[in-house]
Amino acid sequence: MAKLILFIAEQWILVAATLTCVFMLLYHESRRAGKTLSPQQVANLMNKENAVLIDLRDSNEFTAGHVIDAINIPHAKFAASVSDLEKYRERPIVLTCKMGQHSSGAGKTLASKGFSPIYRMSGGMMDWQGQQFPVVKGRG
């Protein structure tokens, strides 16, 4: 314990920088829109509450394999396409992409437009396929 106190006293700049980084990470994570769900929780939500799955990958990736009944809106066109989702405003919305990196930004966009509830699939379609959940090939 004495060594820890001595380290903190001698390396206070390093400790302060570390605490600042931790605070910034926690702040950033708290601002992400939508609760994160596992692929199993997403499947349950789709089956029990008629959730809408929005796939944010590009068209080629979507065509190569996607969740049945998923709606493809590429991440680059998402902000301009939010108005197309008005008919789903009262249903739970789940956002997914390839690995989960784009769904947070899309969730923030939907939250700012008053959509709720919004969820994000952890691990994206890589995790969905990794857990061997079914996918459909083609546009349909």
Give the residue numbers annotated as catalytic, written as ranges.
Answer: 97
Question: CB count, 10 Å around CB of 10?
Answer: 10
Helices (H), the chain: 2-10, 12-31, 39-49, 59-64, 78-81, 103-112, 124-130
Question: CB count, 10 Å around CB of 123?
Answer: 18
- Rg value, the chain, Cα: 19
| CA dihedral (46, 42, 105, 100) positive or negative | negative
| CA dihedral (22, 24, 30, 33) positive or negative | negative
